Chain A
Amino acid sequence: MAKEINEEAISHDDQEHHVENFWTKYVFSMDHKMIGKQFLVTGMVMGVLGVFMSMLFRLQLAWPNEKFVILESILGKWAPEGQMDPNIYLALVTIHGTIMVFFVLTAGLSGTFSNLLIPLQIGARDMASGFLNMLSYWFFAASSVVMVVSLFVETGPASGGWTVYPPLSALPQAMPGSGAGMTLWLVSMTLFIAGSLLGSLNYIVTIINLRTKGMSMDRLPLTIWAFFVTAILGVLSFPVLLSAALLLMFDRLLGTSFYLSDIMVAGELLHNEGGSPVLYEHLFWFLGHPEVYIILLPALGITSEVIATNSRKPIFGYRAMIGSILAIAFLSFIVWGHHMFITGMNPFLGSVFTFTTLLIAIPSAVKAFNYITTLWKGNIQFTPAMLFSIGLVSTFVAGGLTGIILGDSALDINVHDTYFVVAHFHIVMGLSAIFGMFAGVYHWFPKMYRRMMNKTMGYLHFWLTFISAYGVFFPMHFTGLAGLPRRYYSNAEFPMFDEIQDINVIITIFAIFGGLAQLIFLFNFFYSMWRGPVAPKNPWRSNTLEWTTPVEHIHGNWKGEIPTVYRWPYDYSKPGHDDDFVPQSTPRFKNEPGH
């Protein structure tokens, strides 16, 4: 089967010669490489927006009573005389979360690298369905547009936190952001989920069916394993979010009572009866927790690849790495309740979810130790991608450890929804994933744009980002332990929080500093795209198949036949070979050990 399709692709390529015009090449492209780049650039645009929003609300948190003229020029009526309105504060926090979680770290990360790398690394001419792939991007693009449009509606964008719990998000009377902005949020997410499902199905089908000769599952690069499992997670969990969103839409627009019961808001008694907001929480987190791994696994996959290549060593414990990906993925479906320990859920369920949640620490620990052992006795080449990957291991450990606290229901009681949680998930999921994304961009930039990124700017970008990342999120543990709740517009109403204001200022300074450091990356990215030195075929001397393709992008990826694979992707510094890397397409010599 696999062979047939690939053969078909070859003959298809040989017989008709496509003449691509601007529209079919750059806009409605069906080529996976171009679609990957479209995801990346869209994700970056959304990322700039998301980070910029965080800088705005950090200003408010550090200096709650100051007036900033600049705020009025940006936010208009939402910041009269430069004093931010509480409603827009909540809106910024909400949209920042939504954008970063879904648009940047789901679509921007997994969308970019799954598209770029799956066909190239498994040895396929393209995705199983180029058309579905194109649709997947355009659904995502449409959902981005709707999300951005929602920023400009009269009553403001969605403001109930990125989890948009009803009844707050269901009732326009409860807050301005629950008006038209919230409807657009739901429309945007519906489009997003449709796009994500089309993409994921395509990834799964492609990986199962289109691997080149010799590319057995136990010779797949760990990137592909990560993308594969991520896609499965997406297919199984995103539909549940879709149903949660649709039911919420019904409650908002059609007067149903899925989530609403016995409510009087703004002096008005509502007719709704019999619904439960806790139902929404269950549906939301049934996606919400796997979502964490939908974000994290691709970053870990990229890191595995980058660390092995740049340590010039095989990834340590290849099979254990696959096993831990599978274990994490399985467990991620049965831990959602740890977001709901104090919702009034039966305490017995709390015990069950504590049990399953803490188990995740085991495969996670295996991954961390295996990364570290891969560095051991390596010949580490500090490319910018390698720096970000090592940074990822550091943040993965630092943030993962506090998960052991938060996953414990008894301990969660007192830190639930405080800044301790904000610190935890930003470090373990936000930073780790964004570091993985940066590592991927630096590493595969030559494959995407045929040019090299500037190394020195990459170094500078990494160190400024790494320092400010810890500078922002590490102190948040401490404000959380002082009892400071998240999503507070200001903590000036509580004298007991007066002494943490200094820490808030420090965090904001690091946040602005770190945000500005991203300009170096943006400059490097766009500058290198046009003016960077032309890339050689295999700049990092890597084993995987994408580096056997010509530097120029061609439809179908390889001229002539697709290479056959004879070995796993991690034969770095293997005894018996002269070079310190042995590409997967190198035939084995007689009696060569290893897989």
Chain B
Amino acid sequence: MTGLLLAIVLFLLVLATAQIVRIYELATKASKRDEYVVTNKDNNNQGRLMLVFGIGLLSSFVWMVNAWSPIFLPKPSSLHGVEIDMLWDISMGLIVVVFFIVQPILFFFAYKYRGKEGQKATYYEHNNKLEFIWTIVPAIVLAVLIVYGMTTWSNVWNPDNDEEPIVIELYAQQFKWIARYSGDDNTLGNANVRLIKGVNIIGVDTLDATSSDDIITSELHLPVGRPIKFMFRSQDVIHSAYMPHFRAQMNCVPGAQTSFQFTPTITTEEIRMDPDVIKKVERINKIRLEAGKEFYEYDYLLLCNKVCGSAHYNMQMPLIVETEAEYAQWLSEQKTVKESI
């Protein structure tokens, strides 16, 4: 029945279009104008539309920044994150300035130099000086950005830590995360997928002496102010460990080990007291209340950010940053490999 109705509607639509086309054709024939020739009126109209669009584009940009910047990630909760955000702000500021110079010029020129009948354009084929300027100026600006970017990148990878970082393994599999703490010796025991058996779910080599104090958990707790060195492994496909609040991300590659290091600076308790975060949580809870969903409390998260299969969109792990004492307390409550396997 719906099929029949749909067919009738489609048929009527086609019929209506055909009629409109016929009327249009007759009308153009009557006026004897060439429909494709661009007239003065067209140029005026389109030129003005260009100007209007340009203004609209820039104002909607301003509007979006105003309305939507509160949804951005809150301030970084890691040492290197502050540096990255600084570089971000400078780069972003720069490109916004260029955007606000180039786009208006483009749309203004389109409007200003709209064609008029009988008018001739200026023959102007090149100007070496001008071209030199707009090659060399971007080159200088980019040289600065490149040097600044490379320095930041190098600092991210070579942080000057006074203390030995805590080594933690993040193990990815479809579709969950598992953490392995290196224990008192701060050394992870060997592991390989070939050793996965029964309760040994991530293939820890129990014959390796350094593995006996390792601790396997399904939650990620980090002590504030201590450098953490993450070692990543994957069991099946490529995953990506994304910790946006810390400006940290690294792929987990099967058959290889990757790493990333950062120092968390703000505990979960503290970030919940941040004014921006409080406002954010209020807004989110208002939305959730209307939708009848449970109350939300702000939390750091570890997300998977490399497509890994059907439940990729829900591959997450709670991440808690706490004081050194709380961390030690929590860790002591967990079972070591020796106890559990």
Contacts and interface: CB of A to CB of B under 8 A. Distances in A.
A544 B309 CA distance: 51
A174 B135 contact: no
A90 B308 CA distance: 10
A573 B134 contact: no
A411 B250 contact: no
B138 interface: yes
B317 interface: no
B193 A264 contact: yes
A314 B125 contact: yes
Interface string A324-362: 000000000000000000111001001100110011011
Contacts of B123: 313-314, 572-575
Given A413-B156, A494-B316, A499-B287, A361 B116 contact: no
B120 A573 contact: yes
Contact of B91 (A176, A405, A495): A405
Contacts of B293: 495
B134 A365 contact: yes
A347 B248 contact: no
A342 B249 CA distance: 7
A175 B236 CA distance: 11
Interface string A420-464: 000000000000000000000000000000001111100100010
A489 B312 CA distance: 8
Contact of A474 (B42, B64, B119): B64
Interface stretch (B159-167, B176-184, B214-222, B252-260): B252-260
A274 B254 CA distance: 10
Nearest to A267: B196
Interface in B40-80: 42-43, 46-47, 49-50, 53, 57, 60-61, 64, 68-69, 71-73
A376 interface: yes
B121 A580 contact: yes
A327 to B, nearest CB: 10
A516 interface: no
B316 A397 contact: no
Interface string A348-392: 001100110011011001101110110111111111000100100
A209 interface: no
A77 B257 CA distance: 39
Contacts of B94: 404
A488 B103 CA distance: 33
A113 to B, nearest CB: 20
Interface stretch (A44-52, A118-126, A220-228, A315-323): A315-323
Contact of B113 (A274, A370, A380): A380
Contacts of B124: 313-314, 316, 373, 376-377
Contacts of B38: 381-383, 455
Interface in B1-50: 17, 21, 25, 34-38, 42-43, 46-47, 49-50
A411 to B, nearest CB: 6
Interface in B239-254: 240, 242, 244, 247-251, 253-254
Contacts of A255: none
A452 B68 CA distance: 44
Contacts of B339: none
Contact of B196 (A264, A408, A572): A264
A418 B247 CA distance: 13
Interface stretch (B205-213, B299-307, B325-333): B299-307
Contacts of A539: 36
B99 A485 contact: no
Contacts of B253: 276-278, 343-344
A379 B115 contact: yes
B81 to A, nearest CB: 8
A318 B127 CA distance: 11
Nearest to B152: A410
B114 A380 contact: yes
Contact of B149 (A278, A354, A361): A354
A372 B130 CA distance: 13
A499 B283 contact: yes
A175 B309 CA distance: 6
A260 interface: yes
B273 interface: no
B156 A390 contact: no
Contacts of A470: 57, 60
Give the one of A171, A261, A342, A478 with max B CB within 10 A: A342
Given A318-B125, A377-B122, A496-B284, A417 B103 contact: no
A575 B106 CA distance: 26
Contacts of B57: 394, 470
Interface in A56-95: 85-87, 90
Give the one of A160, A275, A491 with max B CB within 10 A: A160
A292 interface: no
Interface residues of A, number: 128
A499 B309 contact: no
Given A351-B150, A398-B103, A408 B145 contact: yes
Given A277-B238, A312-B115, A350-B153, A411 B84 contact: yes
A444 to B, nearest CB: 13
Contacts of B60: 470, 474
A405 B98 CA distance: 13
A414 B244 contact: yes
Given A171-B236, A455-B36, A375 B106 contact: yes
Given A263-B193, A362-B142, A397 B121 contact: no
Given A373-B130, A417-B305, A347 B157 contact: yes
A366 B254 contact: no
Given A366-B131, A494-B301, A495-B284, A410 B142 contact: no
Nearest to B118: A379
Contacts of B47: 380, 382
B284 A478 contact: no
Contacts of A397: 98-99, 102-103, 106
B336 to A, nearest CB: 23
A413 B150 CA distance: 13
Contacts of B152: 410
B120 A394 contact: no
7 contacts: A351-B154, A362-B142, A372-B102, A390-B110, A455-B35, A459-B42, A487-B312
Given A263-B236, A570-B125, 12 more contacts: A85-B310, A86-B312, A90-B312, A160-B307, A167-B254, A265-B174, A269-B194, A273-B255, A313-B124, A397-B102, A463-B49, A573-B120
The 8 closest A-B pairs by CB, nearest first: A261-B255, A344-B258, A382-B46, A483-B244, A377-B122, A452-B36, A495-B296, A488-B313
